[in-house]
Amino acid sequence: MESNVSFRAAILYWLKLGFISFGGPAGQISMMYDEVVEKKKWISEKSFLHALNYTMILPGPEAQQLATYIGWLMHGRIGGLVAGTLFILPSFFILSILTYIYINYSNNIWAEGLLYGIKAAVIAIIFSATYKIAKKVLKKTYYWLTAILAFISINILDINLPIIIIVAGLIGLSFHFIQSNYKHEKKLQKSISNTILKNSLITFLKSFFIWTTAFLLIIFTNESILIKLSLFFSQAALVTFGGAYALLPYVFQNIIESHGWLTSQQMMDGLALGESTPGPLIMIVTYVGFIVGWYNDIFNFSSPLLGALLCASVATFFTFLPSFAFIFIGAPIIELSKKNKALEIPLNFITSAVVGLIANLGYMLAYNSLWTDNNKTENFDIHLFILIILSLLALIKAKVGVVPLLLTLGLTGIMMKIYF
C-alpha cells in the first residue's frame, strides 16, 4: 500500500470532495486525479489508472468505488471505508433535504418552472453521456451492433436489463478466450490463487454476514416496504454494470412499471435533483427511498419524515454495501495483476450494451416529456424540445459544465412559466 499521508489529512480531503463532487463520474474522477496524483502526489499515476480500470468493470458507481480503492491504498480498509462513506454522506443529507422541499413545495409556479427547465437539462445530459461513451467505446462494428441490439432488446423486446448485461459480458468473454494467451492466463491464475482463498474469501464471507444481519433485522420488523426496498436495491447494486447511467434504466423499469412506487414524472424530478447535488448520480436511490417512505405508513410513525429517512437510509445502505465489498475483496488481487488485460474485451462489450441502454433511457424520458397527452400523438412541447437541443449543444459543442447548465436552465424554466 502507498501511505505516507496522515489519516487526518485524508479524512479532510474526502469530506471536502463529498461536498464539491459535482459533474458526474467523469468530473469526479478528474477531481481525484488532479488532487491525489498531480497536486498532493499521494499515489502514483500508474496506481490511480490501475484502480480506475478495475472500478470500471464493476457494477455500481465507479467514482465512489475509486475513492474507496484510493483510501484503501493509503490507509487500508479503514481508509477505504472512510473515503467511500464521506464521498456519499454529504449527498445523502443534501438530497434528503431537497426531496423534503420537493414533496412539500413543488406545486408553486417557481418550483414548477425550475423543474421544467432542469428536466430539459437532464434529458440533454443523458444524451450527452450516451454520445461521449459511444465515442470512446464503439470503435468497432461489433460494438456498435451490441449497442443497437441492447437498445432493441430493452425498448422493443422488453428484455430485463440484467439479462442484456450478462449476455453482453458472455459474448465479450468468448471474444477474449479466442484472442487470449492461455499460458499467461494459467500462470496468472496460479499466482493469485492463495490470495483468493485466504483473503478475498474471508472478506466475502464478512460482507455477506453484514448483509445477512442487516436483512434479517429488516425481516424481523415485518415491514414489507423495507423488505422490498432492501432486496430491490441489493439486486440493483449487483447487476448494474456501467455506473449510475446503467442503474437508471433498471430503476425506471422496475420502480415505475413493476413496483409502482413512483410515477415517471417523479423519477424525472428525482433525476433533476440528483444531477444538481454533489456525489454520485446513483444517489437518486436516496430520493427514491425517501419518496417511498413518505407516502407509505412505515411503522405507523406519527411523522412521514421519519419513515422517509428510514427508507432512504435502507435504500442507500443496500445500494452501496456491495461497492465496498467489491473493493475490499478484489483490490488485493488487482494489485497483484497490474499487467492483466483479461477483462478488457468483456468490459468493452458490457459498456457497448450500456450505451444502448442509456440511449433508451434518454429516448423514453424525452418521449414521455415532449408529448403531454396520454395518446402521445399531439400536444408536442416545442419549447421543451428547443431547450433540450440547446442544452445538448451547450454540453457537446460549448463544453458547458453540468452545474452551470442546470442553474441556467432552472432560471430559464422559471421565466418561461411566469411569462408564457
How high does pLDDT run on average in the chain? 81
> Closest by alpha carbon to 281, among 128, 384, 146, 143?
128
pLDDT for res 340: 56
Span 129-140, mean pLDDT?
79
Q: What band does 183 get if pLDDT is binned at 50, 70 and 90? A: very low
Among 61-65, 93-97, 372-376, which stretch is predicted with the lowest mean pLDDT? 372-376
For the entire predicted model, the pTM comes to 0.73
pLDDT in tens, 357-375: 778 878 877 887 787 665 5
Q: How confident is the model at residue 68 (pLDDT cuts 50, 70, 90)?
A: very high
Q: Which of 12-21, 65-74, 138-147, 243-252 has the weakest average pLDDT?
A: 243-252
- pLDDT, tens only, 42-56: 988 778 877 877 787
- Rg of the chain taking only CA atoms, in angstroms: 22
327 or 251: which leads in pLDDT: 327
With a pLDDT cut of 90, the percent of the chain lying above it is 26
List the end-to-end C-alpha distance of the chain, in Å, as a whole number.
60
Is 68 within a domain? no
Cell 472478506 identifies what position? 203
Judge whether 144 lies within some domain.
yes
Is 98 inside any structural domain?
yes
Classify residue 9: in a domain, yes or no: no
Q: What are phi and psi of 241, to 5 degrees?
A: -70, 140
Q: How many CB atoms lie within 10 A of CB 387?
A: 23
Closest CA to 142 of 181, 104, 171: 171
5 forms beta bridges with none
Q: CA dihedral in degrees (201, 206, 210, 213; nearest 10)?
A: 100
How far CA 40 is from CA of 14, 45, 386, 414, in Å, comes to 13, 12, 44, 42
- Does residue 168 form part of some domain? yes
8 A C-beta contact, residue 133 and residue 241: no
Domain of residue 343: give its range: 90-419
127 occurs within a structural domain: yes
pLDDT at 184 over 60: no
**What's the structural domain count of the chain?**
1
Residue closest to 77 by CA, chosen among 224, 207, 198, 251: 207
| 358 located within any domain | yes
Which of 222-226, 244-248, 273-277, 395-399 is the least confident region? 244-248
112 pLDDT higher than 80: no
Say how many CA atoms lie within 13 Å of 15 toward its Cβ: 6
Report the run of H or E that residue 218 belongs to, with start and end. Answer: helix 201-221
**Structural domain includes residue 351:** yes
Residue 325 to residues 60, 310, 315, 369, Cα–Cα distance (Å) = 11, 23, 17, 38
pLDDT at 51: 81
pLDDT given for residue 195 in this prediction = 57
At 396, is the pLDDT very low, low, confident or very high (cuts 50, 70, 90)? confident
